Amino acid sequence: MDKISPQAAGLNRRLRAAAIIAVAAITLQAPLPAAAQNQVTLKPRPEADNDVFKGCFKKDPNGRKWPCSRINNPAANMTMFDCNIENRMGTEMDLDCDVDQPYHFGPGEMKYLSYASVFDPAPSPRYYTLDRTSPTVACEWRCAGNVMTGVVVWDEQWPEAWSCRELGGDGHCRLVFESSKEVVLVTRARRRVLGDLPIKECSKNWWGYGGWLPFGLGCTYPKHDHKYYGTVKS
């Protein structure tokens, strides 16, 4: 075997070290593989470009204009309305609504209710899961054996509706079932009677003998000043 001189061995070591440094430099300058590039976390884009919706508006039946840029825009907040329901009749009543759970109201009890706009094109909030397409919410009302259908507890097309917004409105809107047998919409601006309640009055005194009977006879609806707020069922 041929012997390598000390000078030649040192040269070989220096050449090998230079080659390793050169390979490392080339590796650092080379682009990352596609798989590695896909793992790079990009910053989220700002709100979607709304130039395509420039000058675009949706007009609701009340003449309010909603910008089309709110469509599918997570940054846009859906317009919500508050209109609480209050029982001031001095007796129990029930409401079974078409898009909500049945509600029972004791005397003097109030339910705090919110409604999402059906005209605002912004995405519905995640906590609001009711699939309502009509601007109105209608219910069946029951009280002391009296039943009425088509009782509207919210209508986004009411003249007062815009002031019932959670944000930017006056708030404090209430739908009150009053002891005067009326349904009244109460806002900061005014108090408007929507209609009357059909509550029968029954007398046990039938020609002087009805007082002996355990049930009512001659039940009639009393005279009232406004139309019934719905369709009388029984």
Q: State how beta strands 136-143 and 146-155 pair.
A: antiparallel
Q: What phi and psi values does residue 80 have, to the nearest 5 degrees?
A: -110, 145
DSSP per residue, 117-135 = -SS--SPPPTT------SS
- The dihedral built from the CA positions of residue 31, 34, 36 and 39, taken in this order, carries a sign that is positive
Burial class (CB in 10 A: 0-12, 13-18, 19+), 129: exposed
Q: Walk along the chain (234 residues) and give the pLDDT tens digit of each residue.
A: 455 555 545 545 554 555 555 545 444 454 555 444 444 444 444 455 556 788 899 899 889 999 999 988 888 989 999 999 999 999 999 999 987 788 999 999 999 999 999 999 998 877 766 677 899 999 999 999 999 999 999 999 999 999 999 988 887 899 999 998 999 999 988 999 999 999 888 876 555 554 455 555 568 888 889 999 999 998
Continuous segment of H or E residues that includes residue 175: strand 174-178
